[in-house]
Structure 1
Amino acid sequence: MHIDYLCDHPELIEELATLNFKEWGEFRPGQTVEHRIEHMRASCGKGAVPSVVVALEGSRLLGGALLIENDLKLRPNLTPWLAGVYVKAEERGRGIASQLVNRVVAEATALGVRELYLYTDTSQSLYARLGWEVVEELVYDDLPVTVMKYTTRQ
């Protein structure tokens, strides 16, 4: 298994965007798979915000994660964000999510980012184990979520 930039594997953009849409599309009323594909394509930077990394086994997609400017409309002052951390169900339990998160943290650190944010409704313990701290609990689009922060070592 290795982690690479999605922009170096453009044939996987549609697959990752579709997986993201199936996982979280219900939280973005009015958004379509096509919107998600375009957003994923637009986020495909390399060594920049935004960028997308993917976990691969050979050429097979296992999961992905994004480094984006903002992921929570309620907190426009917080930036940048780790978002869309997704691992295919059949690949979970192998530490892939942790590796994706650590890669995005490394990318952000290399860019001089001092604080990186995320929000989650179910994975607080995963992020806490990786060094993330709770900033606040809030309700976003009728969903209770935890906003977390990672302070990089500059």
Structure 2
Amino acid sequence: MKFVLLADNQPALPQVAKWYSDQWGYIGEGRSTKELELKLRDYLNRDKLPLIILAQDGNEVIAAAQLRYHEMDIYPEREYWLGGVYVNSKHRGKGVAQALISAIIDKAKILGVGSINLQTEYLSGGLYRDLGWQPIEQVVNHGINVLVMEKSL
């Protein structure tokens, strides 16, 4: 498995947009595959946010995750967020998400980020808890109960 920036594998953008739309399209407007393809063009960065890191098995893109700014309006003081962690269903349960999150953290450190936040529908914290993320609070975002978590780098 190797990690590359979406900026360095732009042909993967439609696949990532489809994954995100299929997984989270129910949340609200602006989440169709076509709309997400346009939005994700803003993530074609290498040395600044927002950016997306892809996990690849050979030439096959198997997962994606985002490092971005200000995901939740209710937390203007929380600048940096992990989001859009998605692993293709046939590659789940193989440690891909954990390795991808580690790659995001490594990139965040290179960019001088001191802490990263996230929101998860797994109110126990799931994998993130196991990886050392600390719960902040449970809130409702877009009508969904989520746990907000933070990891100091």
User: Same fold per TM (> 0.5)?
Assistant: yes
Rounded Cα–Cα distance in structure 2 between residues aligned with 1:117 and 1:45: 20
1:82 corresponds to 2:82: yes
Structural mapping, 1:1-150, within 5 Å: 1-122=1-122, 124-150=125-151
Rounded Cα–Cα distance in structure 1 between residues aligned with 2:49 and 2:42: 11
CA deviation vs aligned residue, 1:101-138 (integer Å, no higher than 9, x gap):
11111111111111111000027120011111001111
Q: Which amino acid aligns with 1:54?
A: L
Q: Which amino acid aligns with 2:56?
A: L
Stretches of 4+ aligned residues off by more than 4 angstroms:
none
Greater shift, 32-41 or 137-146, is seen at 32-41
Rounded Cα–Cα distance in structure 2 between residues aligned with 1:17 and 1:31: 9
The Cα of 1:32 is off from its aligned counterpart by 2.3
The Cα of 1:85 is off from its aligned counterpart by 0.2
Q: Secondary structure at the match of 2:29?
A: coil
Q: Which amino acid aligns with 2:6?
A: L
Rounded Cα–Cα distance in structure 1 between residues aligned with 2:60 and 2:83: 21
Question: Percent of counterpart pairs with the same letter?
Answer: 28
Q: Normalising to structure 2: TM-score of the pair?
A: 0.94
CA deviation vs aligned residue, 1:39-93 (integer Å, no higher than 9, x gap):
2121121132111100101111101000011221222221110000000111100
Rounded Cα–Cα distance in structure 2 between residues aligned with 1:30 and 1:90: 27
Q: Which amino acid aligns with 2:114?
A: R
Rounded Cα–Cα distance in structure 2 between residues aligned with 1:58 and 1:22: 24
Gaps of 5+ in 1: none
Rounded Cα–Cα distance in structure 1 between residues aligned with 2:136 and 2:33: 31
CA deviation vs aligned residue, 1:1-27 (integer Å, no higher than 9, x gap):
111111111110010111011101111
Rounded Cα–Cα distance in structure 2 between residues aligned with 1:31 and 1:14: 13
The Cα of 1:30 is off from its aligned counterpart by 4.6
Rounded Cα–Cα distance in structure 2 between residues aligned with 1:93 and 1:12: 22
